[in-house]
Amino acid sequence: MSEKNEQPEYAIKPTALRICDMPAQLRPREEFERVGAENVSDAVLLALILRTGTQKVNVVALAQILLSKYGSLTALAKVSAKELAKDKELPGIGIVKAQMIKAAMELAQRLTRESVGESPIVITPEQAAAVLRERARILQHEVFWALMLDTKNRLIGEPKQISQGTLNSSLVHPRELFKKAVEHSCAAMILAHNHPSGDPTPSSEDIKITKQLISAGEVMGIRVLDHIVIGHRRHNSNTDFLSLREAGLVNFG
């Protein structure tokens, strides 16, 4: 009969191996120096952020346990500092280390947003996805945004969040969307929302709402150029998003 109380693969197991006892080429700092930041593993980078382990596990093992439990950096980024610190299966992660992890994740997101530029030109679906990708990847609920553009297709300010929750006509009402569009004197817009499941395939409701908003835009004299659905990159796809215009699912005029 199999044991019912088997420990998960990421469970902390005591080890006497300290960092100073590891081969020099496998120590985080030495490996970082030897091969460079871009060539070390996620576990090594995380170990450098954590700096120290515990009496039971060294810092590299602790980093590997974290990644094994959550499965990816994206999943880890979705966990709050309080949740990490309170996780009894991770006794090596207190509030200070949890805050260090979250700070590093937030810096990465801010760097990505900064690299997009203050007023980037947004014409292609990839450019639209690049503006929102880091915002969307850590969300566990749907968010609907509008990228407001001027006459030269330059982004006006930050993406405007219109609603949260599964898209339906009550959550994404033309009145709210075009009120913001008029406030920012935009000439055109690109709609976007995320699918936390990772599958960017649009639903029938997504398509229906898009058509409604295009019609409303025609009345207002504001062009709706596209609607981007952001998911996660899959093994059978080169992208993590879907453009309703490129897919031919909606006529944008």
How many Å apart are CA 106 and CA 134, to the nearest integer? Answer: 10
Residues spanned by the domain of 98: 19-113
175-210 burial, b at 16+ Cβ within 10 Å, e below that, comes to eebbeebeeeebbbbbbbbbbbeeebebeeebeebb
* 123 inside domain: yes
The domain total for the chain is 2
CATH number at residue 133: 3.40.140.10
Task: Please say if the pLDDT value at position 12 is more than 50.
Answer: no
Among the candidates 61, 78, 113, a domain finishes at: 113
Clarify whether residues 150 and 205 are in a common domain: yes
Summary mean pLDDT of the chain: 85
**Whole-number pLDDT of residue 190:** 98
| pLDDT band with cut points at 50, 70 and 90 for residue 16 | very low
pLDDT in tens, 118-163: 668 899 999 999 999 888 887 888 999 999 999 999 999 889 999 9
**Whole-number pLDDT of residue 1:** 43
Question: Who wins on pLDDT, 172 or 181?
Answer: 181
Average pLDDT over residues 102-115: 78
What is this structure's pTM? 0.62
* 130 inside domain: yes
CATH number at residue 83: 1.10.150
How many Å apart are CA 148 and CA 162, to the nearest integer? Answer: 12
Clarify whether residues 123 and 99 are in a common domain: no
**Whole-number pLDDT of residue 134:** 82
**Whole-number pLDDT of residue 195:** 93
CA dihedral 21, 23, 25, 28 (to 10 degrees): -30
Clarify whether residues 41 and 131 are in a common domain: no
* 160 inside domain: yes
* 253 inside domain: no
* 4 inside domain: no
| pLDDT band with cut points at 50, 70 and 90 for residue 229 | very high
